[in-house]
Amino acid sequence: MASTESSSPSPQHVVIVGAGFGGLYAAKSLSKDRSFRVTVIDKRNYHLFQPLLYQVATGKLAPSDIATPIRHVLRRRPNVRVVQAAAIDLDPAARQVILIGGTRIGYDILIAATGVKHSYFGNDAWREDAPGLKTIEHALEMRQRIFSAFEAAELSEDPVEQARLTTFVVVGAGPTGVELAGAIGELAQHTLKDEFHHIDTRRSRIILAEGAAQVLPSYPADLARAAQNSLKKLGVEVMTRTLVTHIDETGVRLKDADGREETVEAATVLWAAGVRASRFGQALANRVACTLDRAGKVQVNADLSLPAHPEIFVIGDLAHYAPDGATPLPGVAPAAMQAGDYVARLLKARRRGRSLPSFRYRNQGSMAVIGRHAAVGDLRFLHVRGVFAWYLWVLVHMMGLIEFGNRLVVMTRWAWNYLTRNSGSRLITSVPEARTDHADRAHRSGN
């Protein structure tokens, strides 16, 4: 097997699987050094700003506002090649990534940055009735379900059916669940209240169910309480220490800490509770015998490489990195970006016969927004909430968008929404037949 350190003057070929935050940062950094040739592989042709996906799901933003073509981002990087394809396997002995269809791409260095997908904790049948939020397709499906439920309720003449249609259950009260529930609350209490004349959207029931003792379980208790109070002001029922035991097309069954069960009839159930590693992570485990944690994430060395395979790195949400028994690296964008930048710097140092210290994550804090003028932020030594936290959240997420054009469009949409409370991206662009039960039920209840 060839050494990771190459004495040849020819460029070292780095293959990056996944163009999320970590993969893109690694590619951009390596592209500045002509001693590397970089291939970026992703099954989609765009980079997605996932922290704002919930705003696509609730009609505040359009998909194109938070997505940028990968080729456009890397257009001035002549030593970077972009391949749109799904990487499904690898051959570590031959140092090749295997794409769907059988095409193989060789590498000197491999960086796996394929992220995570939803975990239903062994209840995969729930996926059909409780979509998660990781892709644009997921966000558009959520949008269709949310707004179609209101439309069907407007059509129904049955108060019981109207109540079911305007009941929304969000499972999981991490940042995604909190932001999603808060956004639905804003829709019901403000945005839609004057647009429907047969129903009162303000009477919608929005439930946020969380198994832990507080919302935002990873946040300090004072910020969690502030977030919960803001949610309540938007009409969200917060149920902590509550587990979901069943989901189907009629709703959910919940069990509290005392073992009491409640069945909630709800037309719309949304999942924000758990994640597991991508398919490529399992392929790594199968081919190089690396260790996976309970979520299927790949355990890595202090330099983010795999044991016995210094030519393979794993970064971002796919990596499990817990130095000296510390808390594992969080699955957030800053951690992925720092990891991508670190691996790029490490590879550059290796090419010059140098080394770098172990990877060290610089915690820049975390934030979650609940609604207008309602946000919380754990900035390590400072806890912020309310209006100041909200403006800070807006600034941080605005600057997180990688293209100026996206920033300009998002800023304009947010400004318009702030002035008018009108979310301009509320089109229902598709109505899958599997979900026409909303309209069917409403029609039958009116006869």
Contact (CB, 8 A) for 107 and 17: no
- CA-to-CA dists, residue 196 to 155, 192, 409, 429, 436, angstroms: 10, 7, 28, 19, 20
Q: What is the 3-state secondary structure (H, E, C) of 244-289?
A: EEEEECCEEEEECCCCCEEEEECCEEEECCCEEECHHHHHHHHHHC
Whether 357 maps to a domain, the answer reads: no
- Both 153 and 24 in a single domain? no
Q: Would you state the structure tokens that stand for residue 406, as one six-digit string?
A: 């996206």
- Bridge partners (DSSP) listed for residue 112: 17, 314
Relative orientation angle of helices 175-186 and 221-233, to the nearest 10 degrees: 20
Whether 331 maps to a domain, the answer reads: yes
Say whether both 82 and 171 belong to one domain: no
Residue type, 72: H
Confidence tier at 6 by pLDDT (50, 70, 90): very low
Mean pLDDT, rounded, for 142-152: 97
* Residue 4 falls inside a structural domain: no
Q: What are phi and psi of 70, to 5 degrees?
A: -60, -40
CB distance 268 to 146 below 8 Å: yes
**Do residues 129 and 262 share a domain?**
yes
Residue 447 pLDDT level (bands cut at 50, 70, 90): very low
Residue 147 falls within a domain, yes or no?
yes
Query: Which residues are bridge partners to 39 per DSSP?
Result: 15, 81
* pLDDT tens digits, one per residue of 365-413: 999 999 999 999 999 889 999 999 999 999 999 988 888 889 999 998 8
- Binned at pLDDT 50, 70 and 90, residue 8 comes out as low
Annotated active-site residue in 137, 141, 157, 179: 179
Which of these three, 295, 316, 351, is where a domain ends?
351
Q: Say whether both 20 and 87 belong to one domain.
A: yes
Indicate the number of domains in the chain.
2
pLDDT higher at 43 or 278: 43
411 in any annotated domain? yes
Q: Is residue 44 part of a domain?
A: yes
193 lies in the same domain as 281: no
The first and second tokens of residue 132, run together, are 């998660």
Task: Answer yes or no: is pLDDT of 5 > 60.
Answer: no
In this structure, are 342 and 404 located in the same domain? no
Q: Kindly state whether residue 359 falls inside one of the protein's structural domains.
A: no
Check whether residue 252 and residue 289 sit in a common domain.
no
Q: Read off the pLDDT of each residue in 202-216 and give the average, rounded to a whole number.
A: 98
Range of the domain at 399: 124-273+372-445
What count of other Cβ atoms lies within 10 Å of the Cβ of residue 350? 18
Same domain, 234 and 381: yes
How many Cβ atoms from other residues are within 10 Å of residue 89's Cβ? Answer: 18
What pLDDT, on the 0 to 100 scale, is given for residue 437?
A: 54
Q: Which residue has the higher pLDDT, 281 or 190?
A: 190
320 pLDDT higher than 80: yes
Convert the chain into a string of H (helix), E (strand) and C (coil).
Answer: CCCCCCCCCCCEEEEEECCCHHHHHHHHHHCCCCCEEEEEEECCCEEECHHHHHHHHCCCCCHHHCEEEHHHHCCCCCCEEEEECCEEEEECCCCEEEECCCCEEECCEEEECCCEEECCCCCHHHHHCCCCCCCHHHHHHHHHHHHHHHHHHHHCCCHHHHHHHCEEEEECCCHHHHHHHHHHHHHHHHHCCCCCCCCCHHHCEEEEECCCCCCCCCCCHHHHHHHHHHHHHCCEEEECCCEEEEEECCEEEEECCCCCEEEEECCEEEECCCEEECHHHHHHHHHHCCCECCCCCEECCCCCEECCEEEEEECHHHEECCHHHCCCCCCCHHHHHHHHHHHHHHHHHHHCCCCCCCCCCCCCCEEEEEECCEEEEECCCCEEEHHHHHHHHHHHHHHHCCCHHHHHHHHHHHHHHHHHCCCCCCCCCCCCHHHCHHHHHHHHHCC
Q: Mean pLDDT in the chain?
A: 92
In a domain, 29, yes or no: yes
**Percent over 90 (pLDDT), the chain:** 78
Single-letter residue type at 294:
R
Give the whole-angstrom CA distance, residue 210 versus residue 233: 18
What backbone torsions phi and psi does residue 111 show, to the nearest 5 degrees? Answer: -115, 115
Do residues 131 and 111 share a domain? no
For the cut 80, the answer to whether the pLDDT of residue 207 exceeds it is yes
Convert the pLDDT of each residue in 353-378 to its tens digit: 999 999 999 998 999 999 999 999 99
Closest listed residue to residue 329, CA positions, set 347, 307, 349, 302: 302
Average pLDDT on 131-148 reads: 96
pLDDT of residue 294: 85
- What number is the average pLDDT over the span 54-63? 95
> In what side-by-side order are the strands of the sheet with 12-17?
80-84, 36-42, 12-17, 109-112, 309-314, 305-306
CATH classification of the domain holding 96: 3.50.50.60
Instruction: Confirm whether 179 is a catalytic residue.
Output: yes
Indicate which CATH number applies to the domain containing 409: 3.50.50.100
317 and 191 assigned to the same domain = no
pLDDT-based confidence at residue 422 (cuts at 50, 70, 90): confident
Q: Note whether 395 and 431 are same-domain residues.
A: yes
pLDDT of residue 2: 44
147 and 160 fall within a common domain:
yes
Listed residues 318, 351, 384: the one ending a domain: 351
